[in-house]
Amino acid sequence: MSIPLLLAELRRRGILLKADAHRLLYRPAEAMTPDLLERVQACKSVLLELLRGEIAVSDVERRSEAESHREVIDPPSPCAACGGLELWETVTGRWRCLRCDPPTTSRHIFALAERIRRQER
């Protein structure tokens, strides 16, 4: 859920947010649902910035739009060895060449590491 949608939902329920130093306060407590609270907590730092007037809702919209398009704007560079553009992302967020470094090898190593870890316990 985007910040503007979250704010609209809070407003609809009559929930007021307040910034108190690094804490985010809300009232009335009974209007908050566990699901909504989870979303508020997930966006806490941005909501605090908004409440302090450091940023505007339009900034948040622009920012989230830039974030959702990051992969399109900044695609992973082609493989240095073969120039291939078919890449895959590892669990650690690194890009590997599908031809030079197929995921099967990595998956095999990962499975092996998992097995070793389990045996150590």
What are the start-end ranges of the H helices in the chain?
3-12, 34-42, 44-51, 57-68, 70-73, 103-120
C-beta separation of 29 from 18 below 8 A: no
Residue nearer to Zn ion on the CB measure, 40 or 97: 97
Residue nearer to Zn ion on the CB measure, 100 or 111: 100
| Shortest CB 83 distance to Zn ion, Å | 7
Q: Which of 84, 94, 112, 115 binds Zn ion (CB under 5 A)?
A: 84
The C-alpha atoms of residue 74 and residue 69 are separated, in whole angstroms, by 9
Nearest to 27 by CA among 37, 69, 8, 112: 37
Residue nearer to Zn ion on the CB measure, 43 or 97: 97
| Shortest CB 116 distance to Zn ion, Å | 28
Is there binding between residue 99 and Zn ion (CB under 5 A)?
yes
Q: Which residues bind Zn ion (CB under 5 A)?
A: 79, 81-82, 84, 97, 99-100
